[in-house]
Amino acid sequence: MRLKHLKTYFKIFLTRYANTKINEVPFLFLSLVDRCNSPCKTCTIWKNNSRGQELSLNDYQKIAESAKKLQVRVVSFGGGEPTLRPDLPEIIKIFKNIGVKTHINTNGTTLSAQKIDCLSSAGLDMISISLDAIEDKLYKEIRGLDALKRVLASIKYISKETSLHLSINYVVSALNDNQILPFTKEIIKYNIQKLKFIPASNNLQQSSISSSESRSFQIDPLRIPQIKEDLLQAQKLLCKNGIEGNSIMYLKHFDHVHKPERLIPCYSGHLFTIIDAYGEVKSCYEFGTKTNIKDHPLEKILNMKSYSQARQKVNQCKLPCHDVGSTEASIRMHPPYIIKNLPALLSDIRLFLK
């Protein structure tokens, strides 16, 4: 099994540095919807107007067939808010039938015990719930909904009544950057498996946020040293309780949310690829290809000129970016990190790629 993972590593490495043909993609990110029910201050997806017809079940069946050919190990469903699609269980089943692990990113506000059981029965393996506050007033200020009790009830149900791997996503902003430790101490009581800290930013999926809007939540660079100290303390607390967290490398470089420079080489478009709600294939959330899976199979698109150009944009990108999905994945592809953190990396492999 480890030899198989080593071969995958070198394949991905070569696609980035030698521009070899892409015939394997471990992770596939599917943005099922371009809409959301939660009017969060740190995001504008809820303001979006539909750009067209979202992909159908038949479209996802075709993507699944391509995913099998590309040896995809994990499919992650996001949005927007993916639970707004009533056929979400059917989409999960389509990908579960090809033998991959399935994961969903949700704000948790539409969940109920019945819906959780339905998703689990459909084949869902992992669920990440966005939660930025443990106190009603602050939650409502950030998320724009009076839904904290409902979300916490779902978290409690998942941890006690299901076998789902449960992760919490905490978006760090100026609105809650002084609550990192209190939040961590409280949320670990819910028997979660992972707590991931994500910086609020105005790039990637949030590129449509205006500078005037972002000023209300943007992290103050002068606060970064204290935030990093709190994050590292929170990480120690998580480790003590057997809970996964961000990589130490990610937390120690949290200030890169403001820096237009590379922390390490980015593997967006190589280690994973993205398909939006309408079928456009992207190398990362910032760089699209204007190539659609309705017109060509995914395995063909990944080796077309348009996708190669999008990957080159990633390689040359100088945007301030500390996007947790792409940065954490890239950290785990970085040889110095692998050498220093092999046990932690093998633990990740057992979770995601077994």
Q: In this structure, are strands 272-275 and 27-31 parallel, antiparallel, or unpaired?
A: parallel
Tell me, yes or no, if the pTM score tops 0.75. Answer: yes
Q: Calculate the CA 28 to chain-centre distance.
A: 11
State the chain's mean pLDDT as an integer: 90
Q: Are 112 and 126 in contact (CB under 8 A)?
A: no
The pLDDT of residue 1 is: 47
CA separation, residue 123 to residues 84, 99, 117, 132 (Å)? 18, 10, 10, 27
Task: Kindly tell me if the per-residue pLDDT of 303 is higher than 70.
Answer: yes
Task: Kindly tell me if the per-residue pLDDT of 204 is higher than 90.
Answer: no
How far apart, in whole angstroms, are the C-alpha atoms of residue 52 and residue 68? 27
Tens of pLDDT, residue by residue over 69-124, are: 999 999 999 989 999 999 999 999 999 999 999 999 999 999 999 999 999 999 99
Which whole number is the average pLDDT over 230-244? 96
The pLDDT of residue 205 is: 55
Which whole number is the average pLDDT over 279-284? 94
**Reported confidence tier of residue 178, pLDDT bands at 50, 70, 90:** very high
Tens of pLDDT, residue by residue over 127-173, are: 999 999 999 999 999 999 999 999 999 999 999 999 999 999 999 99
Tens of pLDDT, residue by residue over 22-39, are: 899 999 999 999 999 999
What is the phi-psi region of residue 204: left when phi exceeds 0, alpha when psi lies from -120 to 50, beta otherwise? left
Task: Kindly tell me if the per-residue pLDDT of 277 is higher than 80.
Answer: yes
**E strands, the chain, in order:** 27-31, 74-78, 101-106, 126-130, 165-172, 194-199, 272-275, 280-282, 288-292
Domains of the chain: 26-352 (3.20.20.70)
In this structure, of 21-35, 43-57, 146-160, 289-303, the range with the lowest mean pLDDT score is: 43-57
Whether residue 80 has a cis bond before it, omega within 30° of 0: yes
The pLDDT of residue 13 is: 81
The pLDDT of residue 216 is: 78
Residue with tokens 């939006």: 276
How far apart, in whole angstroms, are the C-alpha atoms of residue 270 and residue 12? 6
Task: Kindly tell me if the per-residue pLDDT of 65 is higher than 50.
Answer: yes
Q: Are 270 and 12 in contact (CB under 8 A)?
A: yes
